[in-house]
Amino acid sequence: MIEGWQREVGACETDGGLQALVEAFAGNAAAAALPLLTAMATQAGTEIRLPYLDDEWLHLRVLPMVLNQTPSATLIPHRASMCLLDTVEYWDAERVICRTSQHRSPGNPLRANARLSSIHGIEFAAQAMAVHGGLLSPNGAAPSVGLLVSLRDCVLHCERLDVLDSLH
């Protein structure tokens, strides 16, 4: 079983450090968890096969995740009160989940007549898209600039955002 795991690690793209660990812990059954621990520590999205019983394998997909991290100002072009997102709860290559309470803030710059219209939800969504693009940028490179040019056939399911408990 251990030999099969070493072949699996050797067959996939690994850096020299992980391969050195594999070789150093050859014969140690607990060392089979090294690829999983590495993926979790680096928050790298990857698929891993770990030995399970005899000739069986456990297939795992590790998703990159950031929990309760404040979106960095480098990820969106807005500053101060126009940063509408409080936290990034989860993200992977295809989606981002953000949470905010800024829609309830009396100081929200999008409010008019002490109300926040549901049409402003589009700005919250655009900022989430910008954060997602920034998180996906390789090696901290600046994300490419995007512009929301047109919206069609929007269906708004409530009149106001400021009366909702949370947005995510």
Give 75-132 pLDDT, tens digit per residue: 777 677 788 888 888 888 888 888 888 898 999 999 999 999 999 999 999 889 888 8
Q: Tell whether 23 and 93 lie within a shared domain.
A: no
Q: Tell whether 58 and 79 lie within a shared domain.
A: no
List, in sequence order, every residue forming a beta bridge with 35; answer none if it has no partner: none
Is 53 domain-assigned? yes
Q: Tell whether 56 and 88 lie within a shared domain.
A: no
Total domains in the fold of the chain: 2
Q: Tell whether 56 and 79 lie within a shared domain.
A: no
Is 157 domain-assigned? yes
Q: Tell whether 47 and 84 lie within a shared domain.
A: no
**How far is 119 from 111, CA to CA, in rounded Å?**
11
Q: Tell whether 89 and 31 lie within a shared domain.
A: no
Identify which of 8-17, 35-44, 78-87, 137-146 has the greatest average pLDDT: 78-87
Residue 152: count of CB within 10 angstroms of its CB:
4
Is 42 domain-assigned? yes
DSSP for 4-18, written as a single string: HHHHHHHHS---HHH
Give the pLDDT mean for 126-141: 81
Q: Tell whether 49 and 117 lie within a shared domain.
A: no
Contact status, residue 136 vs residue 142, Cβ threshold 8 Å: no
- Residue 20's domain spans which residues? 2-62
Does the model's pTM come out above 0.75?
A: no
Q: Tell whether 93 and 42 lie within a shared domain.
A: no
Is 150 domain-assigned? yes
CA 96, 98, 103, 108 torsion-angle sign: negative
Q: Tell whether 154 and 85 lie within a shared domain.
A: yes
**How far is 59 from 45, CA to CA, in rounded Å?**
14
Is 68 domain-assigned? no
Q: Tell whether 82 and 132 lie within a shared domain.
A: yes
**How far is 19 from 34, CA to CA, in rounded Å?**
10
**How far is 68 from 99, CA to CA, in rounded Å?**
9
Q: Which of 62, 85, 114 is the last residue of a domain?
A: 62
Using N-to-C axis directions, what is the helix angle for 16-24 and 2-11, rounded to 10°? Answer: 170
